[in-house]
């Protein structure tokens, strides 16, 4: 059937018409879920939970072992960096006294756990997100958002400035007694939040009207900036797993097939000559019952036993282990020399780990710069003061595992050149600098 000119024009207009926001959301979500970044983040989460490619190992031979040995290598690498960077509480430094006290109150144990999880997500998944929000009591809070649930919308080619983001969430709903999985997508930008829903066909539609970022009392309000900050693991935002996945897989595979060989080595291959029985089942039965078998004249039984070069396998696994720690910029604590190692030897061994964690500390510093406007806005609303022009710094307590007495001796020798606060911030026995300063003032 031929189309009329009017129908042709209508079809062309439909093709040239701009996409609706719901259609844009649908495309962005579909592109994100099919992206390599999403796949890697999901995979990194599985590896951190010790579910690796070895789970797909199988054998087609009946009666043969099929061991799947997994080692929590990825979790160990991520956690080691996390403990080195944030194993001890970070310090807040601000010149303005009121600002310092307000920040100390805001950066409580709950906030510090959020920062720790943010750094962990950045290393594990490649990027971590933190969302500032106002809760129902009017307090400023922070939420960690998984990398697999956030679609960042960048306003620049270098992907540094956010113009908005899409927050994904899955929910199970019931139509009568039948469960159904739906996906929600919340579009956040400086104008507010708009919710979209997908009922399973991949096509999102708007739900309700545009909502504000938060309510302050009964007053709807929006942040001046997009309420989301992020931390990347290195500038490229790639997870640590990208650099060690094949090594982890091979370490698990080599261990598993060696375990298979050791389990099956007891399953001898018997070579029968002039066996007097009827079939192999009779042979196995006689062997089990009496540990002896009957053979005809000139007959006998030989045994073929496979050999496993365990020493060679262990040597290869040691090489794999060295590569794992070297290429992940981590430290194999199994090879540490303890207190016998010199300070220079320890510094050399920890050089890559220290450098990697300091790079991440720099990314956290940049995150705090982007978080500052949200903090200052809330403090102003709380009548704490206007601190927009006041700077603050975060100091991370990262130190090599050297003898505490040497560290304290170095601090004592520097007492004439450094302030008391700086000395206390570096002292291994001090966890709360302000409390220690108060105790010092009380003794004077």
Six token digits for residue 432: 């709360």
Cα four-point dihedral sign 56, 57, 60, 62 = negative
What are the angstrom distances between the C-alpha of 365 and each of 3, 62, 254, 372?
A: 62, 57, 41, 11
Among the listed residues 169, 163, 217, the one whose alpha carbon sits nearest the alpha carbon of residue 191:
163
pLDDT of residue 203: 92
Cα(357)–Cα(240) distance, rounded to whole angstroms? 12
- Over residues 14-36, mean pLDDT: 87
Q: Which residue has the tokens 């720099």?
A: 362
pLDDT of residue 172: 86
Among the listed residues 287, 431, 377, 360, the one whose alpha carbon sits nearest the alpha carbon of residue 80:
360
What are the angstrom distances between the C-alpha of 338 and each of 32, 214, 347, 401, 411?
A: 47, 53, 13, 10, 23
pLDDT of residue 5: 47
Return the minimum-mean-pLDDT range out of 86-90, 160-164, 268-272, 341-345.
Answer: 268-272
Other residues' Cβ atoms within 10 Å of the Cβ of residue 299: 13
Cα(205)–Cα(194) distance, rounded to whole angstroms? 10
State the pairing for strand pair 219-221/150-154. Answer: unpaired
pLDDT band at 277 (very low <50, low <70, confident <90, very high): low
**Structural domain boundaries of the chain?**
242-351, 403-444
Do the Cβ atoms of 280 and 293 come closer than 8 Å?
A: no
Exposure string over 61-85, b if 16+ CB within 10 A, otherwise e: eeeebebbbbbebbebbbbbbbebb
Three-state SS across 64-112? CCCCCCCCCHHHHHHHHHHHHHHCCCCEEEECCHHHHHHHHHHCCHHHH
Q: Which range has highest mean pLDDT (154-158, 204-208, 263-267)? A: 204-208
273 pLDDT above the threshold of 70: no
Q: What is the dihedral of CA 243, 246, 249, 254, to 10 degrees?
A: -130
For 91-129, write each residue's pLDDT tens digit: 999 989 899 999 999 999 999 999 999 999 999 999 999
Query: How much of the chain, in percent, has pLDDT values that exceed 70?
Result: 83
Mean pLDDT of the chain: 86
Cα(176)–Cα(427) distance, rounded to whole angstroms? 63
SS3 content of the chain, % helix, strand, coil (to 5): 50, 20, 30
Do the Cβ atoms of 275 and 327 come closer than 8 Å?
A: no
Long-range CB pairs of 134-140, under 8 A, 24+ apart, other chains included: 134/213, 134/214, 134/215, 134/216, 134/378, 138/216, 138/217, 140/106, 140/374, 140/375, 140/378
Residues 6+ away with beta carbon under 8 Å from 13: none
Query: How much of the chain, in percent, has pLDDT values that exceed 90?
Result: 56
Cα(110)–Cα(408) distance, rounded to whole angstroms? 31
Q: Where are the beta strands (DSSP E) in 257-375?
A: 269-275, 295-304
266 pLDDT above the threshold of 80: no
Q: Which residue has the tokens 């199988």?
A: 58
Between these two residues, 422 and 395, which has the higher pLDDT value? 395
Other residues' Cβ atoms within 10 Å of the Cβ of residue 389: 7
Cα(334)–Cα(439) distance, rounded to whole angstroms? 40
188 pLDDT above the threshold of 70: yes
Six token digits for residue 412: 């004592």
pTM of the entire predicted model: 0.81
Radius of gyration, alpha carbons of the chain: 31
- Over residues 146-161, mean pLDDT: 93
337 pLDDT above the threshold of 90: no
């Amino acid at each position: 059937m031929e189309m009329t000119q009017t129908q042709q024009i209508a079809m062309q207009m439909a093709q040239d018409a701009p996409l609706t926001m719901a259609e844009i959301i649908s495309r962005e979500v579909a592109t994100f879920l099919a992206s390599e970044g999403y796949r890697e983040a999901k995979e990194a989460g599985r590896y951190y939970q010790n579910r690796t490619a070895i789970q797909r190992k199988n054998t087609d031979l009946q009666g043969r072992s099929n061991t799947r040995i997994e080692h929590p290598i990825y979790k160990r690498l991520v956690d080691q960096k996390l403990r080195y960077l944030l194993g001890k509480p970070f310090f807040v430094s601000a010149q303005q006294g009121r600002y310092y006290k307000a920040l100390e109150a805001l950066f409580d144990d709950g906030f510090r756990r959020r920062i720790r999880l943010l750094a962990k997500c950045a290393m594990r998944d490649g990027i971590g997100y933190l969302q500032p929000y106002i809760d129902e009591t009017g307090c400023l809070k922070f939420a960690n958002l998984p990398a697999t649930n956030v679609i960042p919308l960048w306003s620049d080619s270098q992907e540094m400035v956010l113009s908005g983001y899409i927050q994904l969430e899955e929910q199970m709903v019931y139509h009568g007694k039948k469960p159904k999985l739906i996906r929600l997508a919340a579009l956040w930008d400086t104008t507010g939040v708009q919710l979209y829903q997908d009922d399973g066909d991949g096509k999102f539609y708007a739900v309700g009207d545009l909502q504000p970022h938060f309510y302050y009392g009964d007053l709807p309000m929006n942040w001046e900036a997009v309420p989301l900050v992020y931390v990347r693991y290195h500038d490229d935002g790639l997870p640590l797993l990208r650099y060690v996945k094949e090594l982890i897989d091979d370490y698990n595979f080599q261990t598993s097939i060696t375990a298979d060989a050791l389990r099956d080595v007891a399953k001898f291959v018997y070579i029968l000559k002039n066996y007097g029985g009827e079939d192999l089942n009779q042979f196995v039965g006689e062997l089990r019952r009496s540990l002896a078998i009957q053979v005809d004249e000139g007959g006998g039984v030989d045994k073929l036993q496979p050999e496993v070069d365990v020493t060679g396998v262990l040597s290869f696994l040691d090489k794999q282990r060295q590569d794992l720690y070297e290429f992940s910029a981590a430290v194999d604590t199994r090879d540490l020399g303890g207190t016998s190692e010199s300070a220079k030897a320890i510094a050399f061994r920890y050089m890559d780990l220290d450098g990697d964690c300091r790079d991440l500390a720099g990314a956290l510093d940049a995150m705090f710069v982007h978080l500052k406007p949200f903090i200052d806005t809330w403090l102003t609303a709380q009548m704490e003061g206007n601190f927009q022009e006041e700077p603050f710094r975060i100091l991370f307590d990262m130190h090599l595992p050297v003898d505490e007495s040497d560290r304290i001796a170095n601090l004592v020798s520097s007492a004439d050149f450094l302030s008391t606060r700086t000395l206390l911030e570096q002292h291994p026995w001090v966890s709360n600098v302000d409390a220690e300063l108060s105790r010092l003032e009380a003794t004077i």
